[in-house]
Amino acid sequence: MRDSFFLHVSSSDSLELFPDNTAIDFRVQLPRPLNFETERWVCKVPRAFIKVIFSDVAPISIHSDFCEQSYIGDSYKGVLTEFLLRKKTGWQQIDFISDIAVDVQRKDSRFLHFKVHCPLLTRLEVTKLVLYFERLY
């Protein structure tokens, strides 16, 4: 595996395997398993694209099962990133200014699970994420 790489995932990926995927809760199958067994890896989310049906200004957090654990609601979720969604409809590109990286906890995976935590009145149609993985020495 290289020292760093980008991975693009979307809530509309893998619908044949996961027909119940939504913009706020989705699983994707990767083309090949990710293997992080020997070194320490971190993940950043440099960019997200979200198709908004309705939103007021809303805090959004994106969670995944492969990264550092954090208590959200009544269960543990891996927090990838947090940002503020502007009041808008249609496609919204979010470029993250912070350079926050989270430790990759799972060592081997063919499937990734993502959850988008947002206020009840916020309605999203599609979530696309650009993930950046980097090996630390």
Q: Where do the structural domains in the chain lie, given as residue ranges?
A: 4-136
- pLDDT value of residue 108: 63
Higher per-residue pLDDT: 38 or 127 = 127
Which fold does the domain 4-136 belong to in CATH?
Answer: Jelly Rolls (2.60.120)
Q: Are residues 128 and 8 in contact, defined by beta-carbon separation less than 8 angstroms? A: yes
Helix, strand, coil % (nearest 5) of the chain?
Answer: 0, 70, 30
Beta pairing partners, 90: 52
Q: What is the pLDDT of residues 74-110, one digit of tens each?
A: 555 566 777 777 767 788 777 765 556 677 766 667 8
- pLDDT value of residue 21: 93
